[in-house]
Structure 1
Amino acid sequence: MANEKPLVLDVDGTFLNTDMLYECFWAGLGKAPLQTLQTCLQDFGDRARLKQKLAQIANLRTELLPVNAEVNELAKVAASHGCDIILASASDEQLVRKLAKEHEFSAEVIASDGVTNMKGAVKADALVARYGEKGFHYAGNEAVDIPIWEKADGAIVVGQPKIAEKLQQAGHSVAEVKNSVSLKDIYRSMRPHQWVKNILMVLPLIAAHQFDLQSWLLVLLGMIAFSAAASSIYLVNDLLDLEADRLHVKKCKRPFAAGLVPIKYGMLGFVVLAGIALGVGAALGPAFLGVILLYVALSLAYSMRLKRMRWIDIAVLAALYTLRVVAGAAAVGVETSGYMLLFILPIFLTLGCVKRLTELTLATNEERLPGRGYGRNDRSDLVNVGSLGIVGALLLFFFYSMSDHALSLYPIQWLLWLALVPIAIWLIRMLVLGYQGKQDHDPIVFALTDKIGLGILFFTLSLMFYAAGLWQRWFQIWAG
Structure 2
Amino acid sequence: MLRLLRVSHWIKNLFIFAGIIFSRHFVYPDELRTVFFAFLVFCGVSSGVYIINDLLDLSRDRHHPEKKTRPLASGRVTPGVGLIFGTLLLGLGNWFAYLLRPDFFLITITYTGMMFLYSLMLKDFIILDILVVASGYVLRAAGGALVIGVEISSWLLICTFLIALFLVMAKRRHELMVIESPAQHRMSLAGYSPLLLDQMISVVTSATVVSYAFYTLSPQTIAKFQTKNLVFTVPIVIYGVFRYLYIVYKKSEAGAPESAVVRDRPLLLAIMIWVIGVLFIIR
- With the length of structure 1 as denominator, give the TM-score of the two structures: 0.55
Residue of structure 2 equivalent to 1:257:
73
Residue of structure 2 equivalent to 1:290:
106
Q: 1:335 to 1:377 in 2, by over 3 A?
A: closer
In the TM superposition, what is the alpha-carbon distance from 1:445 to its structure 2 partner? 4.2
Is 1:453 the equivalent of 2:271?
no
Highest Rg: 1 or 2? 1
CA contact (8 A) 1:239 1:263 kept: yes
Q: 1:228 to 1:345 in 2, by over 3 A?
A: same
In the TM superposition, what is the alpha-carbon distance from 1:253 to its structure 2 partner? 1.3
Q: 1:418 to 1:294 in 2, by over 3 A?
A: same
CA distance in structure 2 between the partners assigned to 1:301 and 1:437 by the alignment? 33
Residue of structure 2 equivalent to 1:438:
252
CA deviation map 1:22-61 (0-9, x unaligned): xxxxxxxxxxxxxxxxxxxxxxxxxxxxxxxxxxxxxxxx
2:22 to 199, 202, 207: 207
Is 1:422 the equivalent of 2:236?
yes
Q: Please list, as runs of the form range in 1=range in 2, the aligned pairs for 1:2-81 lying within 5 A after superposition.
A: none
In the TM superposition, what is the alpha-carbon distance from 1:319 to its structure 2 partner? 0.2
Residue of structure 2 equivalent to 1:374:
189
CA contact (8 A) 2:247 2:254 kept: no
Secondary structure of the 1:260 match is: coil
CA distance in structure 2 between the partners assigned to 1:199 and 1:370 by the alignment? 29
CA distance in structure 1 between the partners assigned to 2:58 and 2:251 by the alignment? 23
Residue of structure 1 equivalent to 2:122:
306
CA distance in structure 1 between the partners assigned to 2:10 and 2:203 by the alignment? 28
In the TM superposition, what is the alpha-carbon distance from 1:367 to its structure 2 partner? 4.7
CA contact (8 A) 1:241 1:371 kept: no
Structure 2, unpaired ranges of 5+: none
Greater relative contact order: 1 or 2 (C-alpha under 8 angstroms, separation 6 or more)? 2
CA contact (8 A) 1:359 1:437 kept: no
Q: Which moved more, 1:396-405 or 1:322-331?
A: 396-405
Q: Between Structure 1 and Structure 2, which shows a larger proportion of strand residues?
A: 1
Is 1:189 the equivalent of 2:4?
yes
Amino acid at match of 2:223: S
Q: Please list, as runs of the form range in 1=range in 2, the aligned pairs for 1:146-225 lying within 5 A after superposition.
A: 186-211=1-26, 212-225=28-41
Is 1:345 the equivalent of 2:150?
no
CA distance in structure 2 between the partners assigned to 1:187 and 1:395 by the alignment? 38
Q: 1:280 to 1:453 in 2, by over 3 A?
A: same
CA contact (8 A) 1:447 1:454 kept: yes
CA distance in structure 2 between the partners assigned to 1:223 and 1:300 by the alignment? 20
Residue of structure 1 equivalent to 2:222:
407
CA contact (8 A) 2:129 2:188 kept: no
In the TM superposition, what is the alpha-carbon distance from 1:280 to its structure 2 partner? 0.6
CA contact (8 A) 1:204 1:336 kept: yes
CA contact (8 A) 2:42 2:108 kept: yes
1:275 to 88, 91, 104: 91
CA contact (8 A) 1:329 1:335 kept: yes
CA contact (8 A) 1:314 1:352 kept: yes
CA distance in structure 2 between the partners assigned to 1:435 and 1:357 by the alignment? 10
Secondary structure of the 2:189 match is: coil
Secondary structure of the 2:150 match is: coil
Amino acid at match of 2:84: L
Q: Between Structure 1 and Structure 2, which shows a larger proportion of helix residues?
A: 2
In the TM superposition, what is the alpha-carbon distance from 1:325 to its structure 2 partner? 0.7
In the TM superposition, what is the alpha-carbon distance from 1:207 to its structure 2 partner? 1.1
Secondary structure of the 1:374 match is: helix
In the TM superposition, what is the alpha-carbon distance from 1:418 to its structure 2 partner? 3.0
CA distance in structure 1 between the partners assigned to 2:6 and 2:25 by the alignment? 30
Q: Please list, as runs of the form range in 1=range in 2, the aligned pairs for 1:356-395 lying within 5 A after superposition.
A: 356-363=172-179, 365=180, 367-368=182-183, 370-375=185-190, 378-395=193-210
Secondary structure of the 1:439 match is: coil
CA deviation map 1:327-373 (0-9, x unaligned): 1111211211112112221111111111112222333x365461242
In the TM superposition, what is the alpha-carbon distance from 1:303 to its structure 2 partner? 0.9
Is 1:245 the equivalent of 2:61?
yes
In the TM superposition, what is the alpha-carbon distance from 1:437 to its structure 2 partner? 5.4
CA distance in structure 2 between the partners assigned to 1:366 and 1:267 by the alignment? 28
Q: 1:191 to 1:338 in 2, by over 3 A?
A: same
CA distance in structure 2 between the partners assigned to 1:377 and 1:225 by the alignment? 34
Amino acid at match of 1:447: V
CA distance in structure 2 between the partners assigned to 1:377 and 1:338 by the alignment? 30
Percent of aligned pairs with the same amino acid: 25
CA contact (8 A) 1:360 1:369 kept: no
Residue of structure 2 equivalent to 1:147:
none
- With the length of structure 2 as denominator, give the TM-score of the two structures: 0.91
Amino acid at match of 1:244: R
CA distance in structure 2 between the partners assigned to 1:214 and 1:438 by the alignment? 42
Amino acid at match of 1:252: K
CA deviation map 1:132-152 (0-9, x unaligned): xxxxxxxxxxxxxxxxxxxxx
CA distance in structure 1 between the partners assigned to 2:22 and 2:261 by the alignment? 19
CA contact (8 A) 2:126 2:191 kept: no
Secondary structure of the 2:25 match is: coil
Secondary structure of the 1:332 match is: coil
